[in-house]
Structure formats: structure tokens, C-alpha cells
Amino acid sequence: MVRIHNDNGRVHLRKDTLSESEYRKALCYADSLLHYYPDSAGAHFWYALSKGSLIPFVGVGDKIAIGKDVKNHIQQTLKYDSTFSHAYIVRAIFEREGAKLTWLEKGIVQIVFGENLSGSLKAAEQNLHLALQYEPDNPFAYYELFWTYRAMKDSVKAIDALQKVIRFVPRNLREKQQQTEAAEYLAELASHTSNKVKR
């Protein structure tokens, strides 16, 4: 149920108002899962993913609180299972998003909330390669590699990551949507590269 509601939330994201309610349902199930299985890597991961999915719907203070909670549960996930590939993907996303913050944004967060936010695109890439080391056929990791290489402005590696995403047979709704988006981004990048060559 956690996976289903998370996938539904992702499908509705930026399309209508159902996304937040789906993520909140996922969090309720994840909270119950964690209550009954506190020593389970999977329980900590699903809680972290569900909680982190609420970040787009809250204010800055809540975003920071959620971020700390997610980071803690990802650490717990890896404590119970250091080969849990999806935990490295979530860690990579946080590294990449942290790297996007300007020095001014980081300074404001430090002054107002007393939190030191940082991130590194290189660390994001390393975490994604770790995820693929433990689960080589994980399309989610390749999809996030695309976004990381795009942030690095490395179009060759970004295209390669997208090509890998579309090769997989989708196993769930989230993967199907990521594959559709990957094909669209691939066409966009190919068109952009083609226009550059013509010029």
C-alpha cells in the first residue's frame, strides 16, 4: 500500500491536487509499517521516501525538519542493510538538491533555522553508482543519474543514462512514468544536439 500510494502521488504530481493526499496516505501506511517492523531496512526506507515526498507541499521550516527526518531514516535503512540500493538513490537526490542552493539561500537557512545545508553533485553521482553496484537493473538509479548529469551539464552521460532507463521493462506505475519521461527528455536532447550541429 505504501508503494501504491507513493506511485499514485508521483503520477499526479504537478498535474492536479491528488498528489499530496496520495503521499499522505502512503506516509500513514509507512508509519504503521515502521511501528510493527522497527528493525527493518525496508520499513525505514519506505517511511523516508513517503515523508520526503511531502517536501514540495510544505514551507521552508517544515522542509528542513522533513529533510532531517528523511536523512535519519535513510541512515537507519543502511544500518540494517548496507546494500539497500534505493536508499543510496534518495541520498543522491538530497546531495543534488543541496548542491543547487546558492550561498545566499544556505546563509539564510543557517541564520534563520540554524541548519547547515550542503550538497555535492559528485557525491550524488557516487551514491547513484553505489545503488547500481548493488542493483544493476535499477531504472530509478539511471533516471536520477540523468538529472545529476544534466545538473553537471554533461549531455553525453545524461543521454546514456536515459537510454538505459528506456531499455528496462517497467515493473510498476512509477517506472512506467519514468520511462515515458525518459523517452521525452531523450527526444528533446537529441533535437537540441541536432540543432547545434546544423548551426
Encode pLDDT of 144-190 as tens digits: 999 999 999 999 999 999 999 999 998 887 888 889 999 999 998 87
Kindly state the DSSP code that residue 57 receives in the 8-state scheme: G
**Other residues' Cβ atoms within 10 Å of the Cβ of residue 22:** 20
pLDDT of 132 strictly over 50: yes
pLDDT of 110 strictly over 80: no
User: CA 31 to CA 146: how far, in whole Å?
Assistant: 31
**pTM, full prediction:** 0.85
- Max CA separation in the chain (angstroms): 61
pLDDT of 82 strictly over 60: yes
**Which residue segments constitute the domains of the chain, with CATH numbers given?**
1-74 (no CATH), 83-199 (1.25.40.10)
pLDDT of 24 strictly over 90: yes
pLDDT band for 92, please (50, 70, 90 cuts).
very high
pLDDT band for 41, please (50, 70, 90 cuts).
very high
pLDDT of residue 197: 47
When pLDDT is averaged across residues 116-125 and rounded to a whole number, the result is 82
pLDDT of residue 64: 81
CA dihedral sign of residues 124, 126, 132, 135:
negative
Q: At what angle do helices 60-80 and 103-113 cross, to 10 degrees?
A: 90
pLDDT of residue 133: 97
Q: Is 51 helix (H, G, I), strand (E, B) or coil?
A: helix
Copy the grid coordinates of residue 17: 491536487
pLDDT band for 102, please (50, 70, 90 cuts).
low
Residues in the chain: 199
pLDDT band for 114, please (50, 70, 90 cuts).
low
